């Protein structure tokens, strides 16, 4: 929750920003009308988690549910598998280890454009480890994009299924890259020594921050006394139920989750006042969640201590936690770079090496992004987690 947001007109963009095309603006207007009606019906206030869920996932209207291009240079943001196949090569190391030990297949959650699925299937095929690949994806339009991406690969759609809910029983690998950050958050501010929930009310043609009527929500672990007066941040109440649901049927294997975030001590550091809620529109990052409803991405960093707590509650062993830099190094990114270098020319090699830097440099993605390994077995560490393990930071 950030005091600098300009509340009230959701389509008034800062100078120089590209406006949405007319059709996109009309979708946004329908979403705003729908949400304003919901707020009226609820007595003038909804939680920020409900707002975030709607602007990202409202069927046919939300950011991930409507058809606009999101990923890559022409979209709003770029994810690691879109940056380089080297990232996918490294994930394939963990996947191959799981498949050799446990058999089974892969369940990918939130597959985006399908680039990770395509690359992983290709690499596992090269290793003689072709397997079933299930995708759990909330967005109907992204399912379509994923199917097109995968249909264009050598293996095609053989063995690929899209699920409406997690399988009741399976073994192998659960994989989610940059999905946790897209799960809705609840916002709060410390006021007079108490945690005060802030949600959303109508303001002008759009929306503005409003304190919760009544006591609002506050998780057990969140102590206002540890934080300065006026401190604002967020947390993710649905993380526990979500993780329990997606891993509930996992009988053997583990879950590999990657995202940007911190352990709780670092996340709720007094100096991180304002929280981590961030919006992305055409590669512009800014803090106003009420701008362009449905046309921009909303995200917040991941509290990996909350992930670890949720995993323990779901009966998983929290076995490994490391930075993306160390995950990639331990998965042999330099070896993959050399292997690929043999197959490409000079300019392509430079591009690969540059992308590896983006993935690994501490000032880029190397330290802000983390990988966590949640095991449903004896807790032996897979490739990626045998180098540096930072479990003590959770």
Ligand X SMILES: C[S@@+](CC[C@H](N)C(=O)[O-])C[C@H]1O[C@@H](n2cnc3c(N)ncnc32)[C@H](O)[C@@H]1O
Least distance to ligand X, CB of residue 56, Å: 7
Name the residue among 302, 195, 291 with its Cα closest to residue 239: 302
Least distance to ligand X, CB of residue 348, Å: 22
Least distance to ligand X, CB of residue 270, Å: 29
- Nearer Cβ to ligand X (52/190): 52
- Nearer Cβ to ligand X (90/227): 90
Q: Where are the alpha helices (DSSP H) in the chain?
A: 22-41, 48-57, 80-83, 85-102, 115-126, 140-151, 239-247, 264-267, 304-313, 324-330, 333-341, 346-360
Least distance to ligand X, CB of residue 181, Å: 7
Least distance to ligand X, CB of residue 211, Å: 27
Report residue 171 as tokens: 């073994």
Least distance to ligand X, CB of residue 323, Å: 17
- Nearer Cβ to ligand X (195/246): 246
β-pairing verdict for 206-211 and 170-177: unpaired
Distance of CA 1 to the CA centre of its chain: 19
> Are the C-beta atoms of 312 and 240 separated by less than 8 Å?
no
> Are the C-beta atoms of 244 and 374 separated by less than 8 Å?
no
Q: What is the number of the residue whose Cβ is closest to ligand X?
A: 110
- Nearer Cβ to ligand X (227/292): 292
Sheet of 284-286, strand order? 284-286, 278-281, 297-299
CA distance 246 to 223: 29
Place of tokens 């490294």: 90
- Nearer Cβ to ligand X (46/256): 256
Sequence-distant (6+) residues with CB within 8 A of 61 are 27, 30, 31, 34, 54, 294
Chain residues binding ligand X by CB under 6 A are 64, 79, 81-82, 109-112, 116, 136-139, 142, 177-179, 182
- Nearer Cβ to ligand X (115/224): 115
Distance of CA 64 to the CA centre of its chain: 12
Place of tokens 């830097």: 357
Least distance to ligand X, CB of residue 269, Å: 25
- Nearer Cβ to ligand X (34/141): 141
């Amino acid at each position: 929750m950030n005091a600098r947001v300009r509340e009230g007109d959701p389509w008034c963009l800062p100078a120089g920003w590209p406006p949405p095309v007319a059709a996109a603006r009309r979708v946004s207007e329908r979403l705003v009308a729908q949400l304003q009606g919901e707020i009226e019906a609820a007595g003038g206030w909804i939680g920020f988690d409900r707002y975030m869920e709607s602007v990202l996932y409202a069927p046919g209207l939300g950011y991930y549910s409507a058809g606009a291009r999101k990923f890559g240079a022409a979209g709003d943001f770029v994810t690691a598998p879109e940056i380089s196949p080297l990232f996918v090569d490294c994930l394939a190391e963990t996947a191959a280890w799981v498949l050799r030990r446990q058999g089974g297949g892969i369940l990918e959650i939130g597959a985006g454009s399908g680039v990770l699925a395509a690359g992983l299937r290709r690499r596992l095929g090269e290793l003689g480890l072709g397997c079933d690949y299930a995708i759990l994806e909330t967005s109907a339009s992204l399912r379509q994009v994923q199917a097109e991406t995968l249909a264009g690969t050598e293996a095609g759609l053989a063995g690929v299924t899209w699920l409406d809910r997690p399988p009741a029983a399976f073994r192998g690998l659960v994989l989610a890259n940059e999905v946790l950050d897209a799960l809705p958050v609840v916002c709060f501010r410390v006021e007079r020594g108490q945690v005060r929930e802030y949600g959303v009310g109508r303001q002008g043609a759009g929306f503005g921050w409003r304190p919760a009527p009544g006591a609002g929500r506050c998780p057990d672990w969140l102590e206002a006394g540890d934080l300065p007066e006026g401190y604002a941040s967020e947390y993710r109440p649905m993380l526990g139920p979500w993780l329990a649901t997606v891993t509930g049927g996992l009988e053997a294997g583990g879950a590999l989750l990657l995202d940007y975030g911190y352990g709780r001590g670092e996340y709720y550091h007094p100096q991180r006042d304002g929280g981590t809620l961030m919006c992305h529109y055409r590669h512009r990052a800014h803090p106003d969640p009420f701008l362009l409803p449905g046309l921009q991405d909303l995200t917040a960093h991941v509290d990996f201590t909350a992930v670890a707590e949720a995993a323990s509650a779901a009966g998983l062993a929290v076995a490994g936690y490391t930075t993306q830099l160390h995950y990639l190094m331990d998965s042999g990114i330099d070896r993959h770079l050399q292997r690929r270098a043999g197959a490409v020319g000079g300019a392509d090699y430079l591009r690969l090496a540059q992308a590896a830097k983006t993935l690994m440099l501490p000032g880029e993605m190397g330290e802000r992004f983390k990988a966590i390994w949640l095991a449903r077995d004896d807790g032996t560490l897979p490739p990626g987690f045998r180098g540096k393990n930072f479990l003590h930071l959770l």
